[in-house]
Structure 1
Amino acid sequence: MAAAAPSPAATTGPHPKDHGSVYLNWSYNRDWYTRSNIRFRNDKSDDYDFTFYDAKAHDHPSMSDFWKLSNLTVPQYDLTVGYMFHDKHDLGIEVSWNHLKYVVDDYQTMRVAGEIRGFRFDRDTLVTPNFVHLQHTNGNNYLMVNLVKRWQLAAGRHVVLSAVGKVGGGPMISYTISSIFTSHAEGPFHYEGWVAGTSGGLRLEFYRYFFLNTDFQGAFANYTNSYIGADRLGRVTHHFGSAQLIYGFGFNVPI
């Protein structure tokens, strides 16, 4: 009697000789941020300590001509390297570099309170770039180590649809562009704080080696060490929530 043909799921699941798979994922993102209280202080080369309350910020997609090789890293992008264990729990681990961009809205009116060179104040203020401008656009970078869980939803002979959940955290290696009282500063890349987050999304795999993905990530970012002022002796501290919609493609390498 002839052996029964394997089911479609059997042809798309982990190969019996596979010990796992490495994957590489390249994506782009859109971002949204909660309002935040932003504190500015300098007691070394100047004398100020004041706070913006409920400051609004937006992202900066920069997607024009993103398809050119020279422009691949100009937009808000995500680069991820991971390993799926192919165990019974379908778990994995990954390292991700999420390049978001965060720009505090110029010309917004908000409560500003504190002290500047001996003058104390607490009032609603129209904040212009000649007063303060702040953006983490090169960027608001999340370097995260994530635990990954996968659930297979449907499988065909050469296509698998899965749900993927992640949770993790890590440092923010960011690059801040800012000015205060027209004193301008850019960078450098350095440790500016930490981030923790979780995400959920879908992955559509083709022929075991290629996949498309989409994720929605929620994160908490805490900036504890951002520089401001040309001499980089001023400090900025704030924290906020971020929502990130991620879409991209990747490659699997079975081991």
Structure 2
Amino acid sequence: MKKISVLLLLTVNFLYAFSQNKNKLFKGMYLQWGYNTEWYTKSTIHFRDVVNGVKHDFTIYKAVAHDRNDLDAITKNPVEISIPQYNYRIGFYLNNEHNKAIEINYDHAKYIVYNNQLLHAKGTIGSTYFDKDTAFSKSDLQFEHTNGANFYQINYVRQYVLKSNGSRPLFTGLWKAGAGILIPKTDVTLSGKRVDNKFHIAGYCIGAEGGARWYFGKKWFLEGTAKTGFANYTNALAAGSGRVNHNFGYFELIGTVGYDIKF
């Protein structure tokens, strides 16, 4: 994750430096921080792994998962700002009106498959073939992206002034859309072996969101949006040397506080 953070910092520094040249491609920027809650569609999950010398190659169908927003941590442990499902945005305005922007858009969301679901499962564990409805125990199978399902996107942003106070906006409507990569930290238990894996580029995502901003100060604003998207994990890490692949759609509600910076 440190390498990813360094890469992000270098990207931001490059964009900021580029904005300062005589061409001034960017006309300002903004920073946002906030939190979210999520809902997920059912997912078909394919495990290909070798655990304790035993080959696993099976699929579970229509698995139901939930988030863990931990929003109560905002009041119980406000110093630990990254415990809840958090979001940040780093945007660069493309025009003087500040109604068009390119944005680095990050969502830290937790994805947890419910334990003991009755699911259809098909495939092999060792030499045993199965094709039946079954409920795996927590020690047999547990699957989650709990240090983040982690959606990194580059978005195009369009903003519309709904109400202004002289030369500055008070309320705006906006939409965003883009695509990016998934960098989850997958925690998986398979046949009694649990591994809390490292951060890993595991697939791609697309998403779009819409909502509104309230400028309660000259530079400060609150933003509320609803977001929907698709995440495809093509090679999440498993419990051994194998991989897990699955995909799902999601719906997300996001609240952030932001700050405008003029160049």
TM normalised by structure 1 equals: 0.87
Q: Which residue of 2 aligns with 1:206?
A: 216
Q: Which residue of 1 aligns with 2:80?
A: 71
Q: Which residue of 2 aligns with 1:235?
A: 243
Distance 1:172 1:65 in 2: 25
Q: Which residue of 1 aligns with 2:160?
A: 151
**Deviation of 1:71 (Å):** 1.2
Distance 2:97 2:220 in 1: 22
Which stretch has the larger CA shift, 79-88 or 129-138?
A: 79-88
- Normalized per residue, which structure has more helix? 2
- The 3-state SS of whatever aligns with 1:201 is strand
Q: Which residue of 1 aligns with 2:34?
A: 27
Stretches of 4+ aligned residues off by more than 6 angstroms:
none
Quick check: 2:236–2:243 contact (8 Å CA) kept in 1?
Answer: yes
Task: Tell me the amino acid that sits aligned with residue 133 of structure 2.
Answer: D
Task: Tell me the amino acid that sits aligned with residue 127 of structure 1.
Answer: F
Quick check: 1:214–1:247 contact (8 Å CA) kept in 2?
Answer: yes
Matching residue within 139, 149, 172 for 2:148: 139
Quick check: 2:200–2:237 contact (8 Å CA) kept in 1?
Answer: no
Matching residue within 106, 109, 113 for 1:100: 109
- Match status 1:110 vs 2:103: no
Distance 1:88 1:25 in 2: 19
Distance 1:249 1:226 in 2: 32
Quick check: 1:40–1:237 contact (8 Å CA) kept in 2?
Answer: yes
Structure 2: 5+ residue stretches without partners: 1-25
Q: Which residue of 2 aligns with 1:160?
A: 170
Q: Which residue of 2 aligns with 1:40?
A: 47
Distance 2:258 2:50 in 1: 48
Structure 1: 5+ residue stretches without partners: 1-18
Q: Which residue of 1 aligns with 2:207?
A: 197
**Deviation of 1:140 (Å):** 0.5
- The 3-state SS of whatever aligns with 1:108 is coil
**Deviation of 1:86 (Å):** 2.8
In 2 relative to 1, CA 162–106 (structure 1 residues): closer, same or farther, beyond 3 Å?
A: same
Task: Tell me the amino acid that sits aligned with residue 129 of structure 1.
Answer: K
The share of aligned pairs that are identical, in percent, is 32
Matching residue within 52, 66, 70 for 2:60: 52
Q: Which residue of 1 aligns with 2:198?
A: 188
- Normalized per residue, which structure has more strand? 1
Task: Tell me the amino acid that sits aligned with residue 34 of structure 1.
Answer: T
**Deviation of 1:119 (Å):** 1.0
- The 3-state SS of whatever aligns with 1:185 is strand
Which stretch has the larger CA shift, 59-68 or 92-101?
A: 59-68
Distance 2:54 2:99 in 1: 55
**Deviation of 1:185 (Å):** 0.3
